[in-house]
Structure 1
Amino acid sequence: MHFNPYGGVAAEIAVRLVNAAPGEDLGRLLMASGYQPVGPIDARQDAELRRWIRELDAVFTNPSVELLNALLAKTTGRPYISVHDGRAPHLHYAEETAPVDERVKAYTAFGLAALFCEDPTRIGRCAREGCDVVFVDTSRNGRRRFCTTRCSTRVHVAEHRRRLDG
């Protein structure tokens, strides 16, 4: 049985936050990602989440034990098992009453840490020069290098053309 494949939803939310456009509504992004309950995000929380996004981004550039432990230390996370709203027992990483920015920080830090512990090579950034998109590699063989097939195709076509011209 595989309980937490590739960091689960928390790591995917970290990906969506890092890949978000600079002016994107983070509350909407979180809700669309299935993160509940979001509640209102005030200006202070929005600014803190955007600062947090920069810290998450560094994990995709150079995932390491030290970097992830530093992220975990910056959260108010205290994992506990919760049963609410008729849901099965599940983990919460911060108090349900904590501000949304604190909950998101704990959730994404724990998700990336879980992913890193399962397989650190699954945390990725697109290998195409000029593309800054990050991803969680959920491929069967774990050898993903590009964010999309479009970026992969661009790189491989350019390499093919260089070989033909060379």
Structure 2
Amino acid sequence: MVFAHDTEVSLQAAAVLANTGLDPDTLTTVEDLDAFYEEFEFTGRRDGDEAELEAVRAIREDLYLLLTANRDEAVEMVNRMLAAAGAIPQLVRHDEWDWHLHAVGPERDLPTRIVVEAAMAMIDVIRADEMTRLGVCADDTCRGVVLDLSRNRSKRFCSTACGNRNAVAAYRRRKMS
């Protein structure tokens, strides 16, 4: 494990959410948001309505920019995001999760909690000088966020689909030559 479990989960959630805004958009219904909420085990306030869906959709570009920023830009963005939310980090323990950080209370709206958790996770990335763990998909037709938590730092594609598409293309090029 490169980072603490809660940091990894927050980074994964942010990357997945940022990538839902790519074509085709994969966060279009409240049910899609329900699945995202459950997959990443969010807790706290959940409105479960169209307004919440639109508010979450609205933060995707900011998350994308944060996850693909250089270190200095990421620092500025993290500081701005945390200040805007009035974040006050505290240790909490709930459900199956042992002690971890939350910087806003469970009563805050879901988009705010997502942004703050992503910003808090980026603090660990920045402090560990691990910005190379984040990047953009190596597929020329994709701009998806890649989060590489592998030991050998070998992840190049945002999804299996992009990886497979490039493997097939490379195979075809080898067969043609």
Q: Output the TM-score relative to the length of structure 1.
A: 0.79
CA-atom RMSD in angstroms:
2.9
- Indicate yes or no: 2:149 matched with 1:142: no
5 Å-filtered alignment, 1:1-166, equals 4=4, 7-20=7-20, 21-25=26-30, 26-75=33-82, 76=85, 77-84=87-94, 88-118=98-128, 119-162=130-173, 165=176
Question: d(CA) in 2 for partners of 1:59 and 1:144?
Answer: 19
- Hey, what's the Cα distance between the residues in 2 that align with 1:159 and 1:16? 26
Work out the percentage of aligned pairs sharing the same amino acid: 25
Q: How many angstroms apart in 1 are the aligned matches of 2:151 and 2:4? A: 15
Provide closer, same or farther for how the CA distance between residues 42 and 71 of structure 1 changes in structure 2, counting only shifts above 3 A.
Answer: farther
Q: Deviations over 1:34-55 (max 9, x none)?
A: 1113421455443332221111
Equivalent-residue separation in structure 2 for 1:63 and 1:41 (angstroms): 34
The one-letter amino acid paired with 2:165 is R
Instruction: Indicate the residue corresponding to 2:23 in structure 1.
Output: none
Which runs of no fewer than 5 residues in structure 2 stay unpaired?
A: 21-25
Shift of 1:17: 1.0
CA distance in 2, matches of 1:100, 1:120: 26
**Counterpart AA for 2:4:** N
Q: TM-score, normalised by structure 2?
A: 0.75
Q: 1:117 to 1:162 in 2, by over 3 A?
A: same
Secondary structure at the aligned position of 1:74 is classed as helix
Worse-matched range after superposition: 26-35 or 1-10? 1-10
How many residue pairs end up in the alignment?
166
| Distance in 1 of aligned mates of 2:3 and 2:27 | 33
Q: Distance in 2 between matches of 1:84 and 1:126?
A: 35
Return 5+ residue gaps in structure 1 as ranges: none
The one-letter amino acid paired with 2:137 is C
Equivalents in 1 of 2:6, 2:91: separation in Å?
20
One-letter code of the match for 1:23? T
